[in-house]
Amino acid sequence: MKARNLLYSQKVAPYVFVLPFILSFAVFWIYPLITAFTMSFQDIGAIKSEWVGFDNYTKLLKDKVFMVAVANSAKYMFLTLVLLIPFPLLFAVLIDSNIVKAKGVWKAVMYMPALTSVVISGTLFRLMFSEYKTGQMNIIAEALGLGTYKWLKNGWSGMIALLILACWRWTGVNMLYFLAGLKSIDTSLYEAADIDGASPVQKFFHVTLPMIKPTTIYVLTISVYAGLAMFLESYMLWAGNSSPNNIGLTIVGYLYKRGIEKNNMGYACAVGVVLLIVALVINFAQLFLNGTFKKED
């Protein structure tokens, strides 16, 4: 009887409901994180492992290929932030307005690419950016009188292919985040702006943007990590982890190359730890600059 009363207690019940999340978080996130951090200080072989201290990190700082991967991931992250925050926000504002009809249809159309497998979409985009005349991008280029081009064998055009794939896939998702944020804005604020004679542009900058700031910070936070952790899109676009002159190599791709392809798990774990630290530093910095940690008056 006491056990039953304890189970139905209002003090105990919240912990019972939270327990599954805590257990899954500990088993599938905390434990792997601690294990990876420990492995990053080891030289792990097929039979035994040896503690090597900071050797993996020392080699990492001198690794030119790793620096190329970091530069590629940083560039990709920055460009996706430039493209996948302002444009989805503008699309969300348009769909939320009275200008666009059939809003549900547009939401579904914009969100559908996110439901497509990265393997399938990456393969399709590889065919689109093929260096042969049958590739869709070369067909368009020839129609414009520009001739054919080896899109996936040059740094800038390879990055363009990655960015187009990212925009095609994630614009609709971010747009829905912003739409949810727009729905939370009190309509009386827009009515007051109308009374004051504010134009649509003024209402956007002085009402919409300030009120949608929490949503923008959330989208920015997840986009920073998504940009740095991108791997499968690049892997599928170049049909493997070996792009010409490493133009498509990312941090996670380098982790995969060293850990899985070359069976150097200790070194790969060091790459993963550095990726985690970089992502945390960037996100904490932008959260601090955006005033997330400031106490409200």
User: Per-residue pLDDT tens for 117-147?
Assistant: 889 999 999 999 988 888 889 898 888 888 8
Mean pLDDT (whole number) for 170-183: 93
Q: What is the pLDDT of residues 245-266, one digit of tens each?
A: 899 999 999 999 988 888 888 9
Q: What is the pTM (predicted TM-score) of this model?
A: 0.88
Average pLDDT taken over every residue of the chain: 88
- What are the structure tokens assigned to 196, written together? 């004051």
pLDDT digits (tens, 9 = 90+) for 185-207: 888 888 898 888 888 889 889 89
Give residue 104's pLDDT band: very low, low, confident or very high (50, 70, 90): confident
